[in-house]
Amino acid sequence: RKEVEQDPGPFNVPEGATVAFNCTYSNSASQSFFWYRQDCRKEPKLLMSVYSSGNEDGRFTAQLNRASQYISLLIRDSKLSDSATYLCVGGQAGTALIFGKGTTLSVSS
Amino acid sequence: EPEVTQTPSHQVTQMGQEVILRCVPISNHLYFYWYRQILGQKVEFLVSFYNNEISEKSEIFDDQFSVERPDGSNFTLKIRSTKLEDSAMYFCASNGQGSYEQYFGPGTRLTVT
């Protein structure tokens, strides 16, 4: 069975804080992993792909550990606009994406 | 920036009625998908479509569901006889050849009464 499990959340942090989300997956056949962001009642929006070598996009850093089947997302210097649900997602090219339930982040001033 | 579009944004229908949800994927994409999200739950895969045929479908995608690409741009999801439990957000997504990244449309909120 393919499953993606995430930290339950919610995470409530002040502006400027650093916050980390973790995720584990059970299907070793998944080749690709992503973090999507979802605002309330909106579509999932691709935040970043996750590579084994780790990748960084501005304040966001994602890491994949295939041996441990573990994915992480680090957000530095949190902004109010970062408040959303962050979805850990696994899949392969041209096939179904498997979504985690999501972790809710609330950034306050 | 190209994007996936969906219509309608909200559809209200009575139990037992047929509904068709419409999507226009990103123009040069080749893989198309439907997902659904029941309120408060995770996004669930329904079906994938490539080269004018279904390539994969989930247990949710039973005989009541069908998909079609009637022309070069539209991709539709039909629910033949809606049930109360079909009430959900339905998202269309697409990705290009050789790309793993799927892009989602804004969704259609289906309410079955």
> Tens digit of pLDDT for each residue in A65-93?
888 889 999 999 999 999 999 999 998 76
Which residues are CB-neighbours of A83 under 8 A, at least 6 positions away? A105, A106, A107
State how beta strands B10-13 and B108-112 pair. Answer: parallel
Q: What are phi and psi of A23, to 5 degrees?
A: -155, 140
Whether pLDDT at B3 is above 70: yes
Instruction: Check if the beta carbon of residue A92 is closer than 8 Å to that of residue A104.
Output: no
**Band of pLDDT at residue A30, cut at 50, 70 and 90:** low
SS3 B85: helix
pLDDT of residue A43: 97
pLDDT of residue A29: 63
- Closest Cα partner for A96 from A52, A24, A36, A30? A30
Q: Rounded to 5, what percent of chain B is helix, strand, coil?
A: 5, 50, 50
Mean of the per-residue pLDDT values for chain B? Answer: 95
Q: How far is CA A12 from CA A17, A23, A81, A85, A104, in A?
A: 10, 18, 13, 12, 8
Whether pLDDT at B4 is above 80: yes
**Band of pLDDT at residue A28, cut at 50, 70 and 90:** low
**Band of pLDDT at residue A3, cut at 50, 70 and 90:** confident
**Is some CB atom of chain B closer than 8 A to the CB atom of A98?**
yes
Amino acid at B55: S
Cβ separation A94–B31 shorter than 8 A? yes
Which of A5-19, A21-35, A93-107, B87-101 bottoms out in mean pLDDT, i.e. has the lowest? A21-35
| Omega prior to B8 cis, within 30 of 0 | yes
Q: Locate the DSSP E strands across chain A.
A: 4-6, 11-14, 19-25, 32-38, 44-50, 55-57, 60-65, 70-75, 84-91, 98-99, 103-108
A1, A43, A52, A98: best to mutate for the B interface, most B CBs within 10 A:
A43
In whole angstroms, how large is the CA radius of gyration of chain B?
Answer: 13
Surface of A (1-20) touching B: CB under 8 A: none
Average pLDDT over residues A58-64: 95
**Is some CB atom of chain B closer than 8 A to the CB atom of A76?**
no
Percentage of residues in chain B with pLDDT exceeding 70?
100
pLDDT of residue A52: 79
Which residues are CB-neighbours of A62 under 8 A, at least 6 positions away? A35, A48, A49, A50, A51, A54, A55, A56, A71, A72, A73, A74
Percentage of residues in chain A with pLDDT exceeding 90?
68
**Band of pLDDT at residue B72, cut at 50, 70 and 90:** confident
Cβ separation A91–B100 shorter than 8 A? yes
Instruction: Check if the beta carbon of residue B86 is closer than 8 Å to that of residue B79.
Output: yes
Whether pLDDT at B70 is above 90: no
Question: Kindly report the CA angle at B45 between A25 and B103, in degrees rounded to 5?
Answer: 90
